[in-house]
Structure formats: structure tokens, C-alpha cells
Chain A
């Protein structure tokens, strides 16, 4: 599948933004550590900003961005519509959550409900984003059990590193439990990706040129002799992206290193008293690596996906 840059930016940014909102709301709800109001306000406000940039980016690949509001109407059947609905709804609790740090309220139970709603809507939006891909029967590499967990884990992972970085910048302190949580998420993300790659490499599509045309049999192969046109059709341009495949091994290695292993090492170093560099600098390096890794992971997610329609255009398997 052709990796649309706007969609990669959208899924990675909104994943990180919703991830950090969900974790921040959980910290507040369970009172894991005392949140400085200024830190709470800025981290939730910046998270919402990141989500907003992602959502705006996602509309730029549309043929008619100004009609985007119509996408909120078909939540009964469409995961894309559900994603839009949750994305819009999440602004309500997340906005109140953000402002609540500045205006102290005596009604703690209301804040608790706001925290829970923020967690639920943030995770639901990322869940729906992943389901858009995971629900497509036409693409074996997307119609996979691990797609939704990986989207959620990477979103939480990037979001947690972001929260930890802001903690070192705004409060000048660290909360080691957060570091250990990030290390756990990073390890799970890396292992899940390895398991995913192993799984898509070792399974086969039920569809092939024989089922696509109905012409083959056990002793008769079916292969394309002539394409319908001399140039590339929309389908070939959209679904037939193959540039990355020959580099996929190397790109997978880069993904695991930058998304998982390097950030884990840096964040572990931050918990050690011997660190020579300030935690803030280490935090910045960690988030640069993890976000770069997320972009490569998302790009590969598209580039390695093979659409069954390509069976009509010369692909021997998908």
C-alpha cells in the first residue's frame, strides 16, 4: 500500500497525544504521584495540541477536506467514522481535564469522572484508528490480531516518554516508576512488532491468482500476460507500492533499534545516579528516537501491506 505521509503523521502524532492524555489522566485518577498544576496543565494542553495537529494532517489527504464533518455520520458501520466521533468527543473531557489544573474545584468526584472519560475516549480513538486497518479483509498484513494492540502500545509508549520529558523540563524532577513503566511499554512494543513480523512472514493469504480469476487448478497456474493499460492505473499507484520491500529487513532492524532498544537504554540510564548528561537532554534524545522509530514503523506498516487487488495486476501472491 502506498504510504501517505499525512496518514503516517496523523496516526503517529494522535497516538502519542492520546497516549499521554490517557496516562496523565490515569496518574491523576489513581494519584500515582502528586501533579504540579502547572505541569498538569501544560502537558495536557500540549497533548491536545499534538492531537489537533495530527487530526488536521489527516484531513489533508482528502479530496474534499471541507466536507470532513460528514465523516461523523456513519458511526454505525464505519470505523473511520467512529474514530472521527471519538476524536471530537474526546475534546470535551480532555479540555475540562486540562483546565481543571488551573481552576481548583472542590468536587473531586467530578474530576474523577472527567479523568475516566479522558482515558476512555483517548484509548477509544486510537483503538478505532487501528480498527480502520485491522478490519480490512483485503489486506492480510493489516487484518491481523496484533495491529490494534501495537497501535495502542506505541501510542502509550510515545505519550509516556513525552510526559516524562515534560516532567524533567517543567518540574526538573523524575518519577522513576514512570521510567520503569516506559521501559516495560518499549519492551512490549518491540516484542509485539517482532511477533507481528514473524506472523505475517509465516502465514499465507487464502487468495491467489487462481481464486481471483477462478481459472486455475492444482496443475494449472494463472499468471498475468497483459495488463489492461500501458500505464499505471489508480489501483496500481495506490496499492502497488513495492519500493520498501527489498529494504524491509534493514528497516525492521532500524525500527526495533530506534523505537524500542535505544529509548529503553536511555530511559534506564536516566534512573541511574551515574548519568553524566542531564535527564532533560536524555529525555529529548529518547523522544527523538522513539518518534523516529514510530514513523519508520508506520511507514513499513503501509509499505509491507499487500492488497489482494494486485493479483489482477501481476502479483503472484499477496
Chain B
């Protein structure tokens, strides 16, 4: 049934991603692939894996495959004031998931009990319409299986009673070496993740489209210390200016040595 559940519970499992902490190491994406290649939506197929074999006419667009998690890098601001922000992106398990309602077969669905959005690979016809309906580019088509695949929030891990309780978190959260990802119930205002969102001003991606994503992003913090207090140069430009002072052409002794040695 691709109509959204009418008796949805208040539980909204999801992720909180801290853009202040993320160091862009891609470990979340890699461990996601690792776990899910044997999980609910397995396999996660790759094509042209060794490159150089895709087209007979010699063109090669490189190795590619199905990933549920991608780490983008953005430049915010320009010039000296610019900041590099690493930006992990995966399914946001929206409250208004158009990817679910456009599905003609009922293969895409949103779970009543926890709000996780899943695809049933046995009934998906591979029409790709759900990937068109998703603004976040979260769904990827598996050319080999002929079905659409997406983040499952590691449903086969977070409820897995064979694992120790501490391990019952999505693979991306478990592996993040910086602790930039948190998992929990965003429907419960008193949960750790909800408090984190509250404290840090967590926000929705593309709120103007009204998909009401469950996953939240935390903004990078403003710098707490003035670099000048630390004796560091204000900017690379002034550092380069200072470096220029020791250039042989500006120092008569060094200039003389340079002239001697250059003979």
C-alpha cells in the first residue's frame, strides 16, 4: 500500500548529522556498503568495477554502483572567508515521502511502527518514478536486479537481537570515527537526538518542498577563538606577504650569497 499509513505511530527513527564534526572520511558510506551488501536490500551491485570495459567505443565513465550513502564536499562562502563543509547525504525517511505515494505497485512503503521508508524488492517493477520524486537523490536503481534500492536505516541491524545492544545502530553511525552521526527517535521530544537538534538548531534540507524529512542536519559552529590570539597568521595571504620578506631579492646579504652561488 503506497498510501501513507493513517495510524502512524509517533516513533520516527532517523539520523542527526553534525556538519561541524564531519571530516569527510567517507567511512559511513563505505561501512554502509559493507553492511548492506549482505543486508535487507542485498546485493548492492557495482558495474565496470575495474574500469575500461564499459563501452566498446573506448569511452569509459568509470566504475559505478549502488550506494545508499554519499559524502559531498561544499565550499561555503568565497575567498579568505570560505569554509569547506563535508556533507553526508542519504535517505531522510521523510514524513511526506512522495517517493512512496508515486509508487504504482505498493513496493515502496513507509512503516507504521517507526517511519522507516523501505522498498520491497519482490514487487518493485523498476519504473524509477520514485527516484524522480525524491528531491534528495537518495534512491539508486540497481541495473542488475532491475529494482530500486535505498537506505534501510539498517533495519536488519537496529532490531537484531543477536547483536549486543550497543551495536544496534545503523552501520554509518557505528563506524563514524568523529562521532558526527547520531541515531534515535526524532518523534520523541525527550530523546537524545531531539535534544541535540533543539540545542544546536538542527534543520531540514529543502524545507520549501515540504517533504518534512525526519533526518536533521546540525550547522557548522562559528569559530570560537580569534586566530590572532593564538599567534597564528590572520590569513594565508598575510603569511605569504611575510614570507616575501625573507626572499633573497629583499635582503642584501642573502642577495649577495645568492649572486655568488648562482655563478
Binding site for B on A (CB under 8 A): 1, 61-65, 67-68, 70-74, 76-81, 84, 132, 135-139, 206-207, 209, 211-216, 219-235, 238-239, 307-310, 312-313
A238 touches B125 (CB 8 A): no
B205 touches A212 (CB 8 A): yes
Q: Residue A308 contacts which of B100, B124, B135, B220 (CB distance < 8 angstroms)?
A: B135
* B103 lies within 8 A of chain A by Cβ: yes
CA distance A231 to B53 in the complex (A): 14
CA distance A74 to B57 in the complex (A): 42
> From residue A190, how far is it (CB to closest CB) to chain B in Å?
28
Residues 67-105 of B at the A interface (beta carbon under 8 Å): 67, 70-78, 81, 84-85, 87, 89, 98, 100-105
Residues of A within 8 A of B175 (CB): none
Instruction: Decide: A136 near B133, CB < 8 A? Known: A71-B125, A78-B2, A238-B128.
Output: yes
Residues of B within 8 A of A132 (CB): 102, 129
A231 touches B127 (CB 8 A): no
CA distance A223 to B77 in the complex (A): 8
Count chain B CB atoms within 10 A of each CB in A136, A221, A231 and give the residue with the most: A231
Residues of B within 8 A of A221 (CB): 76-78
Q: Residue A229 contacts which of B64, B78, B107 (CB distance < 8 angstroms)?
A: B64
Binding site for A on B (CB under 8 A): 1-4, 19, 26, 29, 61-64, 66-67, 70-78, 81, 84-85, 87, 89, 98, 100-107, 123-129, 131-137, 140-142, 145-148, 203-210, 217, 219-220
Residues of B within 8 A of A209 (CB): 74
Q: A138-B209, A224-B75 are in contact. List 15 more A-B contacts (CB 8 A).
A: A63-B125, A63-B148, A67-B125, A77-B100, A137-B209, A138-B133, A221-B78, A222-B75, A224-B73, A227-B73, A228-B72, A238-B128, A238-B141, A312-B70, A312-B136
A74 touches B105 (CB 8 A): yes
Count chain A CB atoms within 10 A of each CB in B74, B126, B209 and give the residue with the most: B74
A74 touches B70 (CB 8 A): no
B72 touches A309 (CB 8 A): no
With CB as the reference atom, state the residue of chain A lying closest to B86: A226
B132 touches A63 (CB 8 A): no
B123 touches A77 (CB 8 A): no
CA distance A309 to B206 in the complex (A): 10
Residues of A within 8 A of B204 (CB): 214
Residues of B within 8 A of A81 (CB): 104-105
> From residue A92, how far is it (CB to closest CB) to chain B in Å?
21
Q: Residue B132 contacts which of A64, A71, A138, A231 (CB distance < 8 angstroms)?
A: A138
A68 touches B74 (CB 8 A): no
> From residue B199, how far is it (CB to closest CB) to chain A in Å?
16
A78 touches B101 (CB 8 A): yes
CA distance A222 to B220 in the complex (A): 14
Task: Please list 18 pairs of residues, one from A and one from B, whose beta carbons are closer than 8 Å in the complex, sorted by A's number.
Answer: A62-B125, A68-B125, A77-B3, A77-B101, A78-B2, A80-B127, A84-B104, A209-B74, A212-B205, A214-B203, A224-B74, A224-B75, A225-B84, A227-B72, A232-B62, A234-B66, A308-B209, A313-B137
Residues of B within 8 A of A227 (CB): 72-73
With CB as the reference atom, state the residue of chain B lying closest to A85: B104
Residues of A within 8 A of B148 (CB): 63
CA distance A214 to B76 in the complex (A): 10
Q: Residue A312 contacts which of B72, B85, B131 (CB distance < 8 angstroms)?
A: B72
A232 touches B105 (CB 8 A): no
Residues of A within 8 A of B206 (CB): 207, 211-212, 308
Residues of A within 8 A of B62 (CB): 229-232
